[in-house]
Structure formats: C-alpha cells, structure tokens
Amino acid sequence: MSTDTSASPSPTTEQATNVLLIVDAETLLTRYPKPSLDPQNPTVIEDGFIFTFGITQGTTPEAKGTCIELAANSAKTFHLRGRTVGLQAEHSVVFYALSVSNAGVLSKPHLVVHNGQTLPAPNPEAPTEPIAVKADDHYWHCQQLSAGVEQCELSFMLVNSSCEALGYFSWTVGVKLSS
C-alpha cells in the first residue's frame, strides 16, 4: 500500500491509497484447468490465489472469509490495481468488474484510465540509461464512506501474451475500513 498523488484526473492533486492485488496465475490455472470463458458467468475461486501487497490480509466474522484491512489515514480514496506473478510474463490479469455490497462503507467503484503515461524501460544498447515508453495506466477508484466491513466481488480475466482470454474468474473478499 502506498499513498500517491500522481496521475490525478483533475487539476487538483488527489491523495489516494494504492492497493496492489497480485494474482498467482499459474497456480490458479492449475487448480481451475477449464475456467469459464463467459465474462458474465466467471468461475468463482476460493481464497489463496490473490495476494495483497502492503496491507493486512486476515479474516473477520463479518467477511465470512478473507478480509483486507485498510488502516485509517488521511486518504479516503483507494486505487486498486492488479498484476500477475510470472517469470516470463506469459499471463496477465485484467480486472473487468468490481462491485461492492450495500453496507455503505465504500462508494461504487469505477474504472479510471490515464492514456499515454511515460514509463521507464530497459535500454538494451545502454542498460544504465533507461528509455521512455508510453503505456496506459488503469485502476479501479472508490472512496470510503464510513467505517465497517464491505463485501466486494472482483471479476477478472487471465489473458495470454496475445491478449486472448484464458478464463474469467470471480473472487469475493471483505474489506475492513477503520475511521
């Protein structure tokens, strides 16, 4: 988890807590070798395939399973991004839907895309002098409305290096926010 003010969609700077979800694509595809190929009917997965970076992951009775705990801080805005674990980048994850229950803890999430962001990349001709490449930054944005526990359903697809969908998945997780 980090607090970041970059890539703000407005002229004013918005402080946000960035949450990274890391999907173990290889293990997920081994456990679910024939996942749904229908984005409207994704394969529901159990806990243990998605890991968080920099935030507490535990369980609470309200969440009935895994619960991500976000500590109180000044940033009441959250940016959720996903990545996969892989040595050769053979699989990538795309979060295509994020919904929250009606507990009133989080606002309805929406997808934000910032086109043409500059990123550093290795320069094969001069490894100590990175080159700039353009890529789109995307994340799911939501805001804390109150303290409590909110159930969230995250729908995502795993794609191969040609951007072909290998399967659609869904994971339900509790998010506990303090005031």
- Per residue in 96-105, pLDDT (tens digit) is 999 999 999 9
Query: Domain ranges in the chain?
Result: 17-177
Task: Give the other-Cβ count within 10 Å of 46's Cβ.
Answer: 11
CATH of 17-177, one of 1.10.287.3610, 3.40.50.300, 2.102.10.10, 2.60.40.3910: 2.60.40.3910
Q: Which helix (H) or strand (E) holds 27?
A: helix 25-31
Q: Is the pLDDT of residue 59 over 60?
A: no
**DSSP result, 157-177:** EEEETT--EEEEEEEEEEEEE
- Please answer whether residues 146 and 176 qualify as being in contact, where contact means their C-beta atoms are separated by less than 8 angstroms: no
- Per residue in 101-143, pLDDT (tens digit) is 999 999 999 999 999 999 999 999 999 999 999 999 899 999 9
